[in-house]
Structure 1
Amino acid sequence: MIARIATALLCTAAPVALLAQEVDLRSPDEFISVSGEIVGYNGVMLRVETLVGTISVPASEVICYGEGCLEVLASNDFGLSETDLAGVQAGGDEADIQTAAATGDLTVGFANAANAAIYNALAETYAASGEGAALSEAAEGDTADINLETVALNGSGDVAYTGPSGWSGPNSAMSHQLLGVDGLTVQIAQNVGLDQISIADLGRVFSGEVTNWSQIGGADLAVLGLRLPDTAPLQQQINALILAPQGLSMANGILAMGDERGIAASVNQFPGSISIVSSDAANPDLAVPIVGSCGIAVSNTPFNVLSGDYPLVRPVMATYAAGQTTGPAVGLFDFAATDAGQAAMAQVGLPDFSAVKQGGMEKNARLNGLLNATLDDDQRVAAAQMFQQLLSMDRLSTTFFGGAVTGPQAAWNRAMMRDLRDAAASGDYAGRELVFVGFAESGGESRAAIAASVQAASDMGAAFEAAAGSALAAGDVNVATLGFGNIALTSCIDGPDDAAPATRVEVWLR
């Protein structure tokens, strides 16, 4: 099927009996629309076998839709990479992407009253800015088109985007969008004898599998779990972030209490007790670091939450029931990443996620750790370069999930990129350089991890330059990229594609 092809397209009459790896190639303005099998690439033009013959289309002007895109890129038969295309949408044909053509086309629902307040604050501020995209609230009992809810960033999930071009564009179709982020704090009584705990063990404790702390390396002491009632919004978020991703549910023996601050105070009084509370309610003397899937323990600090290094971040997102969606609603939720949007979110209790600098002590501790680390030959070279390059820079909290990402991870990335774009335009970084620094985990293969980290940083830097070109020029800011593989990681790197290295991209200021 061919529709509205504007560029010079070359056709032959050879029929095609069967299409393997079928894809849809479409320009953002819909001027080019071709369905078929990619059979060649010469560095500029894609050759596509269609039902009416062979078509040539410019790779840089089309977005590739469909699972076949992933197969073509993975096989690398033609030397085609994602950066050669205008974008990749693995979620499927654009016909499957819902477009909200008018303001009232979509309805919005809320998991709780707090999320309703978040939406109202954002919508009112957006309207005051001169924009209009107010959504209709879903009637009671109806299924909403968009739900505001807490969504887990890590854990299992399907690949929604193979790289930055799919989610970073002004008209990208999104399945999720980030409004704000906070953290959960785990408190453990001091007589338990644990100074950290993993997410996996948290699940085992609150699901009732672990009943004595000695089962996970603590004292010979019965576990006393404290929690909020099932109807409490915070408890629902805890279930969604910790238990549900592990396929677990809350044990009946976990003691429910009605007041969050009362729970936090009780941990200091009851032997063997543990609770999960919001950061605001927590007693910092009882808070313990959280261990991710790879064994790295991370404390709940404002920087670690904003960067996503902390495993128990609590993102509030708009989730589209129909999947990837374009239209006015996307513009509304994009607004949350602006200064005005974040100010509105702060009014309803969400921390501002605008980029901040990491403290010098934390940065120096990380770099000094390279000096005594046990490294292989490839890692030693990377470590020397990392120490030399980053010693004079400042890390910003802005951090991205690299490579293939889930819908929620793409939402995180899009919001962080838009915030960074505004920061670049502000003049605060004038005459300086934003350095995208990649890290990767590749099953212990250091050379593969280094290569993946370099590629992830390069792709992210290129996407940022494309999305923020005018902001960079206005703010007199340059962009550079580096990659150091699997050394000095600040958190575990989890990706949805088991066949590819998982990557993260930090942003440093030089």
Structure 2
Amino acid sequence: MIILRAATLAALFLVSMVQMLLAQDVTLTSRDGTVEISGDLLGFDGEFYRVQTIYGELTVDGSGVLCEGPACPNLEDYVAEIALSGSDTMGRVLIPALVQAFADRNGYRVTRQRTDQRHLIMTLAEAQGGRIAGILTLRLTNTDEGFADLLANEADIVMALREVRPAEVQRIEEAGMGDLTGPRRGRVLALDGLVPVVARDNPLLKISTPDLARVVAGDVSNWAQLGGPDAPITLHLRGETSGLWQVVEDRLLRPAGKSVAEGAKRYDSDLALVDAVARDPFGLGLTSVSAAADIKQVPLSGACGFTLGADRLSLKTEDYPLSAPMFLYLPARRLPKLGRDFISFTRSEAAQLVIRRAGLTDQTPEEIAINAQGNRFANAIAQAAVDDGDVVDLGELQAMVTALSDKRRLSLSFRFETGSSRLDAQSRSNVELLAQGLEAGFYDTRDMLFAGFSDGEGGAAANQRIALKRAETVLAAVREAAETASFDQVSLSADGFGEAMPMACDDSAWGRQVNRRVEVWLR
């Protein structure tokens, strides 16, 4: 252990020296001497150099050039350096647990060093001999800071509790790091959700998303307005810079055109928030599902009678409207091989087990039998009888049941950005997941139906056409992503069922968004 710690300190010293030298010029010369590139060395991944030149950032294969200059790395004793920055929630538990599992699988020993409350350094050393293979530095702040560090070339990977914002996409693309909304740039690592919580003795049994937005905005400030006692509501919320709070803004307040009420109590962690709500009989808080195991969670409801709780399957299928995916964002540049191997590992079954043990919802696609979806079909039957006073054609419901009755639903769902034909970030990640399964032959000899659904606004025939178009769009995206799949081994088709199976009430933007979706059904 003393030898390993000494090696770790030596490696950290070398890393710090290299970082001091990276700002100095290097010259890369082809082995025949005909090509010469000079500039600032931005990074070396063990195989390729990244150099800032007068022509912009260039990536150069190290096997074809000779490096001259004080910043040139030692090729024989190369140590992979990877910096992750962003969400404190992800960086304190989930990422270290995944790194440890990755190390165990690949024969590395891990040592951890905290330089301060915001930085964790994880060193991976070979079990035999103790050679340092890689150093992962985690900066634990918030999602905003993660994207800022990426722009400043101080991070290789961003840990985010929200989607990258358009302004961040533009600045990062202008900096030459690619389009973070493009394929394989952003991936969902795990799934969490945003859930209202109250003290155990609080009588509140459910709350609609419009009412929840009004509570957070201060328009509803007394429990009597929700059918409770005549007492003021105390709001407990996360800090304004936390990724979870930004989920509140994106998923709850912005669709309702609301802003947060003044006087809400703010917290730096979910645990502190939950503890405060548990001791406040008149408090209402918003926290992550993973932090709410020991407090009363309040399901979301609507005027039409639907009630949705935040459980594992409702989060995985995105049926729960206030989902909170955990993202890893990677710029368009090569990671060291160790980093690429780690990113690949995060999609493995071993990694999904780690995610489940951390109290989060994993990304492993699951098949859900039709007899386990009775509530969904009950909702469909209830809404097919009468909808806003107009009789809905029960023939559409019968056609849907006939098409789906011999199939099982896959837990991957697909939704589109508001007012757009572009898939949202979680759905783009789901396209990659499904494409990987097709490439691996997991669905060979199966029939795969992409089933499109709509909200209840507009005429039934128009909604059916819109739903079919969405299903065809997702099918095409999956086909394009599954480059090596044997499509002659699997049958892919699309159909649209319009408003035949609503998941939530159409009386709010949240409910309509949940209802506009594409599902995958297998036979």
Shorter-chain TM-score tier = 0.5 to 0.7
Residues 1:114 and 2:120 aligned together: no
Partner of 2:160: 149
The number of residues matched between the two structures is: 394
Q: Paired residue for 1:301, among 311, 324, 333?
A: 311
Residues 1:482 and 2:492 aligned together: no
Distance in structure 2 (CA, Å) of the matches to 1:505 and 1:105? 40
Q: Paired residue for 1:182, among 192, 202, 205?
A: 192
Deviation at 1:449, TM superposition (A): 0.8
Question: CA-to-partner distance for each residue in 1:295-349, whole Å, 9 max, x for gaps?
Answer: 85421111110111112211122457xxxx6444697867644546545655765
Deviation at 1:390, TM superposition (A): 1.4
* Contact map agreement 1:433 1:478 (CA 8 A) in 2: yes
Query: Taking structure 1 as the reference length, what is the TM-score of the superposition?
Result: 0.60
Between 1:398-407 and 1:458-467, the stretch displaced more is 398-407
Partner of 2:479: 465
Paired residue secondary structure (2:367): coil
* Contact map agreement 2:160 2:243 (CA 8 A) in 1: no
Paired residue secondary structure (1:277): strand
Between 1:275-284 and 1:229-238, the stretch displaced more is 229-238
* Contact map agreement 2:238 2:286 (CA 8 A) in 1: no
* Contact map agreement 2:198 2:277 (CA 8 A) in 1: yes
* Contact map agreement 1:421 1:472 (CA 8 A) in 2: no
Distance in structure 2 (CA, Å) of the matches to 1:302 and 1:338? 19
Partner of 2:366: 356
Deviation at 1:420, TM superposition (A): 2.3
Distance in structure 2 (CA, Å) of the matches to 1:408 and 1:461? 13
Question: CA-to-partner distance for each residue in 1:247-289, whole Å, 9 max, x for gaps?
Answer: 7665564456788567657756643332333324435883222
Q: Which amino acid letter does the alignment assign opposite residue 209 of structure 2?
A: I
* Contact map agreement 1:174 1:326 (CA 8 A) in 2: no
Computing the radius of gyration from Cα coordinates, the structure with the larger value is 2
Q: Which amino acid letter does the alignment assign opposite residue 158 of structure 2?
A: N
Distance verdict in 2 for CA 1:333–1:244, change over 3 Å: farther
Distance verdict in 2 for CA 1:339–1:206, change over 3 Å: same
Between 1:190-199 and 1:207-216, the stretch displaced more is 190-199
Gaps of 5+ in 2: 1-55, 62-79, 108-132, 152-156, 171-180
Between 1:453-462 and 1:121-130, the stretch displaced more is 121-130
Residues 1:506 and 2:482 aligned together: no
Deviation at 1:151, TM superposition (A): 1.2
Partner of 1:212: 222
Paired residue secondary structure (1:220): coil
Distance verdict in 2 for CA 1:412–1:225, change over 3 Å: same
* Contact map agreement 2:190 2:327 (CA 8 A) in 1: yes
Question: CA-to-partner distance for each residue in 1:470-501, whole Å, 9 max, x for gaps?
Answer: 44559x432222210012212479999x9x99
Gaps of 5+ in 1: 1-97, 161-170
Calculate the aligned-residue CA RMSD, in Å: 5.2
Paired residue secondary structure (2:296): coil
Distance in structure 2 (CA, Å) of the matches to 1:116 and 1:371? 45
Q: Identity across aligned pairs (percent)?
A: 24
Query: Taking structure 2 as the reference length, what is the TM-score of the superposition?
Result: 0.59
Distance in structure 2 (CA, Å) of the matches to 1:176 and 1:473? 26
Paired residue secondary structure (1:435): strand
Residues 1:399 and 2:410 aligned together: no
Q: Which amino acid letter does the alignment assign opposite residue 490 of structure 2?
A: V
Distance in structure 2 (CA, Å) of the matches to 1:295 and 1:143? 46
Which residues of 2 match residues 54-453 of structure 1 at below 5 A? 101=59, 109-112=85-88, 114-115=90-91, 118=94, 143-145=149-151, 147-151=158-162, 172=182, 176-189=186-199, 194-227=204-237, 242-243=252-253, 251=261, 253-255=263-265, 264=274, 270-282=280-292, 286-291=296-301, 297-319=307-329, 326-328=332-334, 336-339=346-349, 342-343=352-353, 345-346=355-356, 350-358=360-368, 360-372=370-382, 373-374=384-385, 379-402=393-416, 410-424=424-438, 429-441=443-455, 443-453=457-467
Q: Which amino acid letter does the alignment assign opposite residue 87 of structure 2?
A: A
